[in-house]
Amino acid sequence: MKDLLWAVARTEDKETCSIPAWSGFNAVVLEAEIPVTAIQYLPFIHAPPSDFSTIYTSLLKLAADGEDLGQEHMLVTADLAIYSKAQQILWNNLPALAGKIIMRIGGMHLIMAYIASFGKIYGDCGLHNILTSSNVYASATPL
């Protein structure tokens, strides 16, 4: 109901509107008490990041932190090199990590894989010619 009230109140002229944006409006009308949060830096790990033992130790630490916070599952985002090795560790179904860690590949690597799949699927059917003739790519750019 509050969202509908906000939408109706914002229909007046945008330049003279005294109703704040959606997040500001909800911050003003919120009735619940929100606890203050603290931001802390994680400790540095002085080890090669893509080493199996480093990844395994980090996953164990994350699982322990999740238990301390009362979280059943921890969503971990990593780049492709760390993701692939972490998945190999998780596939071993170790009791200390069983069902506690869910790996997710990072956004940049996900997009890179998506774009590479286009080149793989459409590479031999004239995609390169279309992209070069429309000046999206230079003629020497590999797909």
Same domain, 52 and 100: yes
Same domain, 92 and 112: no
pTM given for the model: 0.57
Other CB atoms within 10 Å distance of the CB of residue 128? 17
Same domain, 98 and 114: no
pLDDT tens over the chain, length 143 residues: 777 877 887 777 667 777 777 788 877 777 788 778 878 787 788 899 889 999 999 999 999 988 998 888 989 999 989 999 999 999 998 888 988 999 999 888 888 888 888 777 776 777 777 777 887 777 666 65
pLDDT of residue 10: 77
Backbone conformation region of residue 98, classed left if phi is above 0, alpha if psi is from -120 to 50, else beta: beta
Domain of residue 23: give its range: 1-39
C-alpha 113/C-alpha 107 separation (Å) is: 10
Residue position matching structure tokens 């080890």: 47
C-alpha 66/C-alpha 1 separation (Å) is: 35
pLDDT of residue 14: 66
Same domain, 51 and 25: no
The domain total for the chain is 3
Torsion sign (Cα): 14, 15, 16, 17: positive
Same domain, 70 and 27: no
The pair of structure tokens assigned to 87 is 């998945």
Same domain, 56 and 31: no
Same domain, 52 and 101: yes
Same domain, 8 and 22: yes
